[in-house]
Structure 1
Amino acid sequence: MNIQTVAKPTLEPATGSSGVKMALLSNRMEGIARKMQNTLFRTARSGVLNTAHDFSCVVLTADCRLLATAESLPIHTLLGPDLMCEAVRRHHKTLKAGDCYIHNSPYEGNSHAADHCLIVPVVDEGGTPRFFVLAKAHQADCGNSKPTTYMGDASDVYEEGALIFSAAKIQSGYRDNQDLIRMCRARIRVSEQWWGDYLATLAAVRIGERELLTLGEEFGWDALEDYAESWFDYSEEKMVQAIKRLSTGSTTVHSGHDPFPGVPDGIPVNVTIKVDAEAARIEVDLTDNVDCQPCGLNLTEGTASTAAMIGIYNAIKDHSVPVNSGSFRRIDIKLRENCAVGIPRHPASCSVATTNLADRVSNPVQRGIAEIAPGFGMGEGGPIMPPAMGVISGKHPETGEAFVNQIFLGITGGPGTPTTDGFLTLIHTGNAGLCRQDSVEVDELHHPLFVNGRHLVADSEGPGAFRGAPAMEAEFGPIDGCEMTLIYTSDGTVNPAAGAAGGGPGALADQYKRRADGTLETLPACHAVKLSPGETVISYSCGGGGYGPPETRETARVLADVAAGLVTAERARAVYRVAITPDAAGLPMIDARATAALRAEAQP
């Protein structure tokens, strides 16, 4: 291919036409992250990647500041990639073109051991590192002692058992380090599947590298560095404007994870939020919490910081604020070492660090900001990881081949906000709805699995002026001739998603095993359940918390929910104070006079 030499565009200070150039370059950077994502999505082999979309791709500056994320999962990408790239620079003093590093250490910034990250330094022709590209991909299997990527009952990292790489060089000169490849192939249960996912992730970072080298050739590296600084400054100013719209104040919000193996009383969480609107700063203090616990729920430094920041970005109600290291400047997160929601010490297990306890940090932050600044914040999203989001494993009865994969068959959880009802397919605050619910047909094609059904559950929403999302029920099990293991780590069977600003809590999670004779067996919240042909699991996800007093909900919205089967007429009357009666055709309608009387009674 012949490449024409063109004059390099220049960037001026961030005024006048340079603002347009900054916007164009920002779109180019986001476009590079999207190209990386599209590559990984279209070429990965595991369902958790090519169906559920549980991966993220980002661009960072050479000094490890987050620059572009596209549609990456928040829990993957706020304050983790910078720590991981710093680990690369700390362990490898010289970075060369053709290098690639595999990193999944929870003790050096990663989310949990199941998220394999490939990190490539983008090095110019003179040998100077200019950027980093990072792709994080959740694995179908990561070598844990059990066939799951979520070891909630692991007392420490040794019992967890995953392969953990600390910025290990997996490519030099664009050639694989076969020692590391053999380690993964030998330890991971579905080694061919892992190999395909590794190649997909590698292709993503190499495409990011190629595109950045092209961009550097087009604009010049100095111009791109000037752009990055201007973009960070602009992003900080947007965050300043967003925080100044809030009220000044502070509050401490208490939350807590359900009882679990290793923590029979659960894990209490205390989150102190301080908003200084005049100085345009938000502080979240997580230091007043318990030490690391003998279970897999402990957060990493990356996920603890990121979880708090997710709550902030959800709460400020301004989606024009770029999520990058510039807007991060206005946020202070206080953590302490050896804390369950802080900085873990080896050998604490962080196997479930992206989901359960992380949400018990994000949700109190967004609920606390609702207390400080009325009209902002959110209710709590539904706690996470019911059986319908578990990991299935076994051997296919036709081929005898092993299978391991996480499924996403039925999770809702969206919280009510000051202006909207809960997002039905949020899944949880950490992925912000960017992971996808599985197609039943695709799951049944890929695995020896049969889905009996899934549907929304009436009267399970967190009531409010804007309600939380209703819960979802899903029932599934193995096909004839197949034995299957399902491992899950469900939170929210005891502590529901709380509402905000007068909103109510969402429904609790629950789970049952339906035996072959049709009888039901209640299952614990964290469990490895064996399923034989004819047996199924029934999974109930949590409903999201509501926002605002339910008796102030617009009556037309209540009627629509009743018509859709999400709320019964009885609940509409008792909770929302709306009287619903059938019309001549038997369809629901509002009894305006009775509703007025009900709402008058509800007035203080």
Structure 2
Amino acid sequence: MTEHATSGETRIDPITLGVLGGAFQAIGLEMGHALKRMAYSPAAQQVEDLGGGLFTADGREICESDTTPMHIGSIPAYIQGFMRRLEGNVNPGDIIIHNNPYHGASHSPDLCVAIPIFDPAHPNELLAWSASTIHLSDTGGVFPGIAIDVHDVWAESKIYDSLKLYENGVRNEQLWQFFIDNTRTPSYVIGDTEAMIAAGKLGEKRFLGLLERYGRETVMDAVEEFLDYCERMMRAQIEAVPDGTWEAEGWLDDDGRNRGEPLYVHTKITIEGSDITVDLSKSCDNVPTGFNVPFGGSVLPGIYTVIRSVFLDEATFTDFIPQNDGIFRPIKVIAREGSIFNPEFPRSALSRVCPILRASDAAIQALAEVVPDRVAAGSSSIGVGVYTGYIPEKSEYWVHVEINEGSYGGRCGKDGIDAIDVLTVNSRNTPIEETDWLFPLRTERYELRDVEPAPGQWRGGIGIIRSNTFVEGGAFTSETDRAYEPPPGLFGGGTGHTLRLYRIDPEGAEHPLESKQTNYSMDAGSTLVWEQACGGGYGDPLRRDPEAVLRDYLDEFISADGAREGYGVVIDETAEAVDAAATERLRAQRGGNR
């Protein structure tokens, strides 16, 4: 922490500082909009599986797009990763591509495109980076798109480590051709990569515009002031919490190969003054499949995001709190080398989202004792589905990357959010019209799962059910979890529902599937059904407002029997109203029996 970060003094007048802070935020948002508008794949256009922003010369985040934290938060590790090989050998006009998961990448399908920004008055002096990432639909691994059961890092993807796609403004045509020749979906990959180049140039242009208008010293001082300001804000919130250590644990279904062997996840959180340490070292060893998590590119941004959401939720503050490196400084993350959260080379770390979501959820559960009003009950995982097939007339594959939404657990004062990406992801869904239009798939059903939510003073959220029928033969890969351990309730709330994944064959027979599948063949007319896990409840269900229970009944979330059994609320089905006297008697009886 810098000296002026402690004092709170600034070297710039507050008005100029505020203007530049807003300008930084606007640049990040504009880069995100450019990525979404110019990208070619539905995963980028609709799902927003992307991110971008500005970063200091040594990789500290200045500003970011309002998209997926796992993308933007990983870029500092990307920059550190490729600069360790380039050793500072970057020049104006260079454009670097990088996707090595052992040197910063969030995982190998997430390609980073980075453009160095130099001081116009001193062309040899690197000031900052304009960088972005997009999850590319295919990067040339052993299976199309994503795979769970892969042997090592070389099997998961082609690795592009610290390569200059452009050098001094000139594109390396041989590298570009090699890059395009090693994807099954060149149309999407070309469009998405060029979108990242355009967004990077936009960020560079906007930052240079600030330098021209306000001067280098003022702009660079403003960068440091805002990083220090966010650090002060984060530290103040952590310091307000008592010192101590809290732990939580859980289990992942399996590694996608060794069925019936759950994987242990353990999170320990220690607060000392204004510092917080998240230790994942007791979690299981790394696994022989791709179900591991890159430390710098995914573990760090995942934990940073969930800790910020607990301690510095910008929705509860009137002050402007941008997302930047200052927020990360008070957080230390530890993961034992050789564990699932810090795998040993050359283990694959391709399908990393479910483990980091499980660790993030455990971090929230660990903090429930000390900040119960800021946490949620157990949340579900998301489901990443990759659908694929071959297009002979184009000599390329179609690959559809689809996010199946889960749900949050209930939290103090509010029910769990239904049908949403959870914790560290923040992706959107692909409209069913676009799926049916672009791919040989038909969406037969897409709605809230028809189960009753976990009861609580604030009920758990409900995940989605989605049925996709293959019009032509193809295959799918599923990356999801929570088929065996349901999201837990908090403070007396009920347990959520587990995941269901199954195939319906053309004759209508149902075949249960494990949560993780790699390139599973699907005949024409077969249907894949996702029923995502549902979040846990928060608080004693007998304390839920009877009128809220009635609303859930009228909205067909629960039945009259569910109201009675789950909440001790008696509903007059004819009058569609709460029977207050009967409810009071039943709740008194239930309370006395506890």
Indicate the TM-score class for this superposition, using the shorter chain for normalisation: over 0.9
Tell me which residue corresponds to 1:3: none
Matched-pair contact (CA < 8 Å) for 2:277–2:332: yes
Give the match's secondary structure for 2:412: coil
| Correspondent of 1:507 among 497, 506, 512 | 497
Q: Is 1:441–2:433 an aligned residue pair? A: yes
- Aligned mates of 1:201, 1:170 — CA distance in 2: 12
State the 1:501 CA deviation: 3.0
Tell me which residue corresponds to 2:236: 241
Task: State TM-score, norm by structure 1.
Answer: 0.91
Spell out the pairing of 1:130-279 with structure 2 (5 A cutoff).
130-149=127-146, 151-160=147-156, 162-264=157-259, 265-276=261-272, 279=273
Matched-pair contact (CA < 8 Å) for 2:10–2:225: no
Q: 1:108 to 1:501 in 2, by over 3 A?
A: farther
- Aligned mates of 1:308, 1:463 — CA distance in 2: 28
Q: 1:509 to 1:403 in 2, by over 3 A?
A: same
Tell me which residue corresponds to 1:60: 55
Tell me which residue corresponds to 1:335: 335
State the 1:316 CA deviation: 2.3
- Aligned mates of 2:545, 2:11 — CA distance in 1: 45
| Correspondent of 1:521 among 511, 519, 527 | 511
- Aligned mates of 1:423, 1:36 — CA distance in 2: 28
Tell me which residue corresponds to 1:90: 84
Matched-pair contact (CA < 8 Å) for 1:315–1:378: no
Give the match's secondary structure for 1:512: strand
Give the match's secondary structure for 1:375: helix
State the 1:568 CA deviation: 2.1
Gap regions ≥5 residues in structure 2: 1-7
State the 1:399 CA deviation: 7.1
Q: Is 1:592–2:570 an aligned residue pair? A: no
Q: What amino acid is the match of 1:435? A: S
Spell out the pairing of 1:354-393 with structure 2 (5 A cutoff).
355-385=353-383, 389-393=384-388
State the 1:213 CA deviation: 0.9
Give the match's secondary structure for 1:119: strand
Q: Is 1:540–2:534 an aligned residue pair? A: no
Q: Is 1:496–2:491 an aligned residue pair? A: no
Spell out the pairing of 1:420-435 with structure 2 (5 A cutoff).
420-431=414-425, 434-435=426-427
Tell me which residue corresponds to 1:415: 409
Matched-pair contact (CA < 8 Å) for 2:145–2:386: yes
Matched-pair contact (CA < 8 Å) for 2:234–2:312: no
Spell out the pairing of 1:99-110 with structure 2 (5 A cutoff).
99-110=94-105
State the 1:37 CA deviation: 1.2
Matched-pair contact (CA < 8 Å) for 2:149–2:257: yes
State the 1:325 CA deviation: 1.4
Q: Is 1:466–2:458 an aligned residue pair? A: yes
Q: Is 1:405–2:393 an aligned residue pair? A: no
Matched-pair contact (CA < 8 Å) for 2:65–2:72: no
The C-alpha deviation readout for 1:94-131, integer Å capped at 9, x for no partner, is 32111111111110111100101111111122121111
State the 1:203 CA deviation: 0.6
Give the match's secondary structure for 2:457: coil
- Aligned mates of 1:470, 1:184 — CA distance in 2: 41
Q: Is 1:35–2:22 an aligned residue pair? A: no
State the 1:394 CA deviation: 1.0
The C-alpha deviation readout for 1:564-588, integer Å capped at 9, x for no partner, is 122222222212222222134xxx3
The C-alpha deviation readout for 1:247-284, integer Å capped at 9, x for no partner, is 433211111211233444121011101233xx122211
Tell me which residue corresponds to 2:289: 295
Q: What amino acid is the match of 1:283? A: T
Q: 1:245 to 1:416 in 2, by over 3 A?
A: farther
Tell me which residue corresponds to 1:347: 346
Tell me which residue corresponds to 1:324: 324
Matched-pair contact (CA < 8 Å) for 2:67–2:427: no
Q: 1:262 to 1:96 in 2, by over 3 A?
A: same
Give the match's secondary structure for 1:136: strand
Tell me which residue corresponds to 1:21: 16
Tell me which residue corresponds to 2:476: 486
Matched-pair contact (CA < 8 Å) for 1:256–1:269: yes
Q: 1:425 to 1:99 in 2, by over 3 A?
A: farther
Q: What amino acid is the match of 1:446? A: L
Tell me which residue corresponds to 2:564: 573
- Aligned mates of 1:370, 1:291 — CA distance in 2: 27
State the 1:176 CA deviation: 1.8
State the 1:40 CA deviation: 1.2
Q: 1:170 to 1:422 in 2, by over 3 A?
A: same
State the 1:238 CA deviation: 1.1
- Aligned mates of 1:502, 1:249 — CA distance in 2: 24
- Aligned mates of 1:328, 1:210 — CA distance in 2: 27
Tell me which residue corresponds to 2:468: 476
- Aligned mates of 2:336, 2:392 — CA distance in 1: 49
Percent pairwise identity? 26
Give the match's secondary structure for 1:351: coil
Give the match's secondary structure for 1:372: coil
Q: What amino acid is the match of 1:493? A: A
The C-alpha deviation readout for 1:341-379, integer Å capped at 9, x for no partner, is 13x2211110012x1101111001111111222212222
| Correspondent of 1:602 among 580, 583, 590 | 590
Give the match's secondary structure for 1:224: helix
Matched-pair contact (CA < 8 Å) for 2:255–2:291: no
Matched residues, number = 574
Tell me which residue corresponds to 2:3: none
- Aligned mates of 1:41, 1:495 — CA distance in 2: 36
Q: Considering only aligned residues, what root-mean-square deviation do their CA atoms show, in Å?
A: 2.1
Matched-pair contact (CA < 8 Å) for 1:460–1:506: no
Is the deviation greater in 303-312 or in 361-370?
303-312
Q: What amino acid is the match of 1:157? A: V
- Aligned mates of 2:538, 2:475 — CA distance in 1: 38
Q: What amino acid is the match of 2:23? A: R
Matched-pair contact (CA < 8 Å) for 2:25–2:322: no
